[in-house]
Structure formats: structure tokens, C-alpha cells
Amino acid sequence: MNLPPPNQQPPQWQAPTPSGQPTAGQPGPEQWVPQPAPKATTGLGPQGHFKRAAVWRLERVSATPAEAAALATAGITDAAVQGYAAWRRSALFVAAPVVALTAVLAVVGFKDVETEDPITELGVLAQILPLLGPVALAIGVAAGIANWTAVKKGSRALSIGWVLSVVLPLIPALMPIDWLLDHDSLVELAGGDVATVDAILGLTKVELAVGYLIALLPILITFPGGVVRASLRAKGLLPSAALPGFFLVTTAPFYSLIVLVAVVLLIQFLGTGLLVAGAVLLALSPWVYVINRRHFIGNAVGAGMSDGLDKATKTNGWLSLAGLAAIVLWALTSKVQGLDVLDKGDGGWFDALTVGRTLAEAFARSFVTTVAFTHIFLSLTVTAWKANKAAADDPQLAIAEARHQAVASVFDEPQR
């Protein structure tokens, strides 16, 4: 066999001629070298990730072929579990841009930390801790995306980042202003006028309290909402399990209460009929799950129960959308004491940048909270399932069964 000169590339295989014989200068079939396969991609763009992240029936989520291959390599071969891992990945992808931007803005904010008198050391710490929260969340989300095929490892990193993002901004809010500012230094700066200093401190306390309320609002709203959505998705992956339904039904009323508490200050200061209507609709939406609890607590594998789940979630979604629409209309159209609620260039109670940043942070945090708590609820559900299986062989099961029957008789309706 003649080899080509060192500076000449070997000829590539070409399709045979109709006669089935190689063309001139073409090697025979025995010399064909397989070419590498094209690199597989997920095939999902931003819109695809968002649509998948919004799905609550996780048993209906399908991983792309590339994702399924990556998960199979990691030892995850069940189609439903692959769908769950793919959903987690999409939800974190949707949240990642806002989380990253918030972290960058927090890092930039370090240049504005004040350290000179009358600010105490605790006052400096109170300025730094809220800036670390977004950074911790961004690291947790990045670790969750990087380890998306290692579900347990990625969930642990995400949970740690989420907890730090909640706790770190909360610590300064628990510090009285007297810990943050040195009173003697203030009096000295005011030329010994104690009355003026006390009056300024009084106003500063109110301003600081309102500032903390606005800063913590995304956490306050997304925490119970994320828990409700997480329990719903745990039920969507394990429709025969009762425990996720119990999580959903028991947390839904608390979500309603927290929504009302979160907006009560706005209602008192800037409230109109639209804001009240929006708050009431948002507070009512979780009660759809409580009213339809039999669908969520029972075995939802059958078609009838499954349809009940879908109808309840659609009703919840319409109520939530109506409530949000009413609040948006309130912000865009309402005036309070002669000022627009949302500043449109000629003055207003809230500037568009602050409102937009708060809403974007709440949007991203809701996805992260949902992902973190879905894993927690699934872990608890699996633990309960294992405990029930182990108890089936326990000789004490007869005693426990009799106890359950006795307690159940209290809740059973009397026969007529």
C-alpha cells in the first residue's frame, strides 16, 4: 500500500459511485475512518427552560436526549427522576441571570459601606451582612447548576446558599438602632444638642424600619409561596403519596396570612380599592388547595383525581393572576395625596428602578425557593415511605393499627 507524502493529507472517504466502486484516488472501504459524532445539545433555549420551569406536574416533564444521556452516566435512569433533575436545571437557569445581577450589585455596594463615627462596629457589620446574602445565593445557584446531575450534592449546596441569603439580611433587622450608632458621637456632632439628636434618631428608626421591610419583602413573600409551590411539585412527581398533599394543605393558609401581613402597611399608607382587591385575591388563591384537599391528600394516580389536581391548580393560577393584575393597575394608575404611586417622572411614592429590582428579585427567589423545598419535601416523603415499609414487618404493627383505627373513629362521620 502506497502512503502519501508527509506533507499531504490522506484522502477522505467518499460515497461510492453507482457502480459501487471507489472513484479514482479514493481509498477502498477497508481504509474508512469513522468521523466523530456531532456534539449533543439540550435543544432548549430561554423560552424552553422557562416553560419547563413553570410545570408543576413533574411526572410529565421529559429530559432531552442529551440530558437523559448525562443523567444516565450519573446513574439516574428512571424517566420521571430524569424529568425532575431536568426541571431543577431549568428552574435554576431561569433564576440565574437575576440572581447573578443582584450579586454583582451587592458587590458594587461594598464601596458605599460607611465606617466612620458615629457608626459603631455593629453598624458596619449591619451594612455588610445584607450585601453578602445575594452573593451566597448566587454561589448556591451556580453550584446547583454545575452539579445538576448529582441531585443530592447540588441540592445541598443550593440549600446552604438559600439559607444564608435569608439569614444574613435578617440579622441586621434584629439590631436596635442604638447598637448601630454611637449616641455620644452623635451628640458631639450636633454640638451637644441632645434633643435634636433624639428627634433625628426617632425619625431614623422609622425610616430604617420601612427600609428593612422593603428589603426583606422579596424574602417574606417568596418563602411561603415557594413552600406551597414546592409541595405541589412534590405531589406532581409522586402523585400516589399523601405527605406532599399534607404539606400543601397545611402551608397554604399561612401563605394567605403572610401575604396580608406583607401588604397591610401599604394598605394603611397608600391603599386604594385596587390594592385591597389584589391583596384579597392573592390571599384567597391558596385556599383553593385547602378546599380541594381530597385531590391532593388522596392517591392522584387515577384519571378522576388527576383531573381534580389540574382544575384546582388552574383556579389558583387565575386567582393569582387577577390579584397581580389588580396590584399592577394600582401601581400604574393610583394617586395618593396628590402623588403617583409609581414615579412617572414628576414625582411618586416609589421609583421604577426600586420596584423593578424588588420584583425581579422576588421572581428569581421564588424559583430558587421552590427548587430547594421541593427536594426537602421529596426527601421527607421518601423517608416516610421507607419507614412505612419497615413497619410492615414490625410485630408491633397490630397495636399501631388498632391505635390508628381508634383515632380515625373520632373523625369518621356517624352512620345514619
Residue 309 lies in a domain: yes
State the pLDDT confidence band at 328, using cuts at 50, 70 and 90. Answer: confident
Reduced DSSP (H G I as helix, E B as strand, rest coil) percent helix, strand, coil of the chain, to 5 = 70, 5, 25
Round the average pLDDT of the chain to a whole number and report it.
81
Please check whether residues 243 and 185 belong to one and the same domain.
no
pLDDT of residue 265: 74
Is 206 within a domain? Answer: no
Q: Are residues 150 and 74 in the same domain?
A: yes
Q: How far is CA 23 from CA 31, 34, 220, in A?
A: 14, 19, 73
Residue 138 in any domain: the answer is yes
- How many angstroms separate the CA atoms of 322 and 188, rounded? 54
Please tell me the least confidently modeled range out of 40-44, 227-231, 394-398.
40-44
Within this chain, do residues 157 and 243 fall inside the same structural domain, yes or no?
no
Task: Tell me, yes or no, whether 180 and 288 share the same domain.
Answer: no
Residue 265 placed within a domain: yes
pLDDT band for 305, please (50, 70, 90 cuts): low
Q: CA 247 to CA 228: how far, in whole Å? A: 8
Render pLDDT for 150-197 as a digit per residue (tens, 0 to 9): 999 999 999 999 999 999 999 998 888 888 888 777 777 777 777 887
Is 34 among the domain residues?
Answer: no
- More confident call, 11 vs 411: 411
Q: Which helix (H) or strand (E) holds 335?
A: strand 335-336
Environment class of 300 (CB within 10 Å of its CB; exposed 0-12, middle 13-18, buried 19+): buried
Long-range contacts for 332-339 (Cβ within 8 Å, ≥24 apart)? 333/274, 334/270, 334/272, 334/274, 334/275, 336/269, 336/270, 336/272
* Number of independent structural domains in the chain: 2
Q: Specify the higher pLDDT residue, 416 or 157.
A: 157
Please check the confidence at residue 85 and state whether its pLDDT lies above 50.
yes
Mean of pLDDT values over 388-394: 72
Q: Is the dihedral of CA 166, 168, 174, 177 positive or negative?
A: negative
DSSP 248: H
User: Nearest Cα to 285, choosing from 328, 250, 320?
Assistant: 320
The answer, yes or no, to whether residue 87 has pLDDT greater than 90, is yes
**Within-domain flag for 226:** no
User: Within a domain: residue 386?
Assistant: no
Identify whether residues 262 and 367 lie together within a single domain: yes
pLDDT for res 292: 87
Whole-number pLDDT of residue 273: 85
For residue 66, what pLDDT band results from cuts at 50, 70 and 90?
Answer: very high
Looking at the fold, whether 67 and 185 belong to one and the same domain comes out as yes
Q: Per-residue confidence at 376, pLDDT binned at 50, 70, 90?
A: very high
* Domain match, 273 and 157 both: no
Does 83 map to a domain? yes
Asked if residues 278 and 260 have their Cβ atoms less than 8 Å apart, the reply is no
* β strands within 94-142, DSSP E: none
Q: Are residues 297 and 180 in the same domain?
A: no
Q: Which residue segment(s) compose the domain that 62 sits in?
A: 58-192
- Burial (Cβ within 10 Å: 0-12, 13-18, ≥19) of residue 15: exposed
pTM across the whole model? 0.78
